[in-house]
Amino acid sequence: MRRVVITGQGTINALGHDAKTTLDAMSNGVCGIGELEFQNVDRLNVKIGGQIKDYKADDFFNRQEIGLYDPFTQFALISAKEAISQSGLEFTEELATHTGVILGTAGGGLTTQDENYRTVYEDGKNRVHPFVVPRLMNNAAASHVSMIYGLNGPTFTVASACASSNHAMGQAYHMIRSGMSDVMITGGSESMLCFGGIKAWEGLRVMSKDGCRPFCATRNGMVQGEGAAVFVFEEYEHAKARGATILAELIGFAMTSDAADIVMPSQKGAASAIRRALRDANVSPENVGYVNAHGTATTANDKTECAAIREALGAAADDVMISSTKAMHGHLIGGTGGVELLATIAAVNDGMIAPTINHNKIDPECDLDVVPNTARQEKVDVAISNAFAFGGLNAVLAVRKV
Amino acid sequence: MSVEDKIIAIVAEQAFLEPSDVTSSSTLEELGVDSMALVECIFAIEEEFDIQVPFNANDPKASSFDISSIQSITQAVEGLITAQKA
């Protein structure tokens, strides 16, 4: 099987408008969560989120483009541009034939739907903008990336709620590994911070009104974020031949389904995904130095995830560092695995272990080294990134420094 | 229907029981109301009485809204009606 390496990364999220700013913020334990600002926010019970501030679409796109791009597409395009530029790839006709785009999203153009439902239902108008459908469709972001760079390879969108990005990147990994593609543009994007997006989540009663505190005994729910992270995955020999800077190698991926409950997580399903990812990567639990946790800060996820990590890693769990960066950037739902892979790569590439901020009281049910509050500098051989979605869908990626 | 009767009807529906099987002292646990059904009960109560119930599924016990029994829920709902309709 062919080896797969990461040669570019890009992002825009509450912590920064590019990868460097985001990683600097993570290493400084910056919290990007604050008061939400959008129409009708006063009617919400949950008024906080990891919203991208100081963002003007006009700075990146012209009026015609904005007419076609929902924010989730805008975020994906900004991230893809940074990643592709960093990779230094030039898409010749030959390479473009063997390059595809697989992006994750859960809500797709939810903001577009929200705005247009308001137009027809609340404002009583009988006409909507002609591009509502191409803006809201879940594959819009992947298609626009493909169009802008002229990429003709396998391109589609994966939707598996909070595991969308990891599932998407897992597919991209498999395509290069198997020989179907030489390069894949992959990651995820989400823009759910609008009235309808948050109102729906409020209904489930799992959101925190005062902050995201993963693994902390005082945690009381998740906080949403928004944004995207996109990567360039490339076949190892291809990257080596052109002298590309390799950020990390993707060495394993696994996915499982709990087949149990539509919202409650399962220790068995999560542990099995972690175990299989390590087996796929051909590494033992002792090799794993860092786990970027799903860590949503709900009562159920965090204790179940800690138990699953213990089950999968055995005695090695006592020595592994785990952290949830969601406390800083919020839960990007379908885009979250992308932003979290940035932290996972930084662990093996630079030894920067992003902290779990807002941690002020140990929870005996989360008895692992959760890297509370302050980032660390440690050499890490292998790191994994967990994503466990509603619907019981688990997807785990494993990376190593080349 | 009294507040309690309405709450019994709501909880009974979620627990797949007849209202006659639910009494004032019944606890949600013994009625087999799981976390999903509980969230649906809270929603139905909010709709029925047009009130806002402070409830976070992450920590049901932390809320001032006591869900331990039909009686405690009834008292809490009556309190919220008074407070929020005043």
> Are residues A249 and A349 in contact, defined by beta-carbon separation less than 8 angstroms?
no
Residue-wise pLDDT for A185-203, tens only, equals: 999 999 999 999 999 999 9
> What local confidence, expressed as pLDDT, does residue B18 receive?
96
Q: Which residues of A touch B55 (CB under 8 A)?
A: 205
Alpha helix positions (H), chain B = 3-14, 28-31, 35-49, 70-85
Contact A298 B58 (CB under 8 A): yes
What would the two tokens of residue A376 be?
């660390």
Contact A264 B35 (CB under 8 A): yes
What would the two tokens of residue A148 be?
């802008």
Q: What is the mean pLDDT of residues A216-239?
A: 98
A164 pLDDT band (50/70/90 cuts)?
very high
Q: What is the mean pLDDT of residues B11-36?
A: 93
> Could you tell me the pTM of the whole model?
0.94
Q: What is the mean pLDDT of residues A77-90?
A: 98
> What local confidence, expressed as pLDDT, does residue B57 receive?
87
How far is Cα A20 from Cα A12, in angstroms, rounded to an integer?
Answer: 10
Contact B59 A206 (CB under 8 A): no
Domain of residue B37, residue span: 3-85
> What local confidence, expressed as pLDDT, does residue B86 receive?
67
Identify the residue whose tokens are 């090799």. A287
Q: Which residues of B touch A204 (CB under 8 A)?
A: 39, 57
Mean pLDDT, chain A, as a whole number?
97
The CATH homologous superfamily to which domain A4-241 belongs is Thiolase/Chalcone synthase (3.40.47.10)
Longest dimension (CA), chain A: 63
Identify the residue whose tokens are 């390496």. A5
Which residues of chain A approach chain B closer than 8 Å at the C-beta?
A: 45, 203-206, 208, 219-221, 263-264, 298-300
> Are residues A29 and A214 in contact, defined by beta-carbon separation less than 8 angstroms?
no
Catalytic pick among A17, A98, A144, A162: A162
**Domain holding B68: CATH number?**
1.10.1200.10
Residue-wise pLDDT for A14-26, tens only, equals: 999 999 999 999 9
The letter for the amino acid at B6 is K
Residue-wise pLDDT for A284-323, tens only, equals: 999 999 999 999 999 999 999 999 999 999 999 999 999 9
Q: Does domain A252-400 have CATH number 3.40.50.300?
A: no
Residue-wise pLDDT for B3-20, tens only, equals: 999 999 999 999 999 999
Q: What is the CB neighbour count within 10 angstroms for residue A358?
A: 24
Going from N- to C-terminal start, the domains of chain A cover 4-241, 252-400
What total number of domains does chain B contain? 1
Q: Which of B51, B58, B61, B67 to mutate to test the interface with A (most CBs of A within 10 A)?
A: B58
> Are residues A187 and A341 in contact, defined by beta-carbon separation less than 8 angstroms?
yes
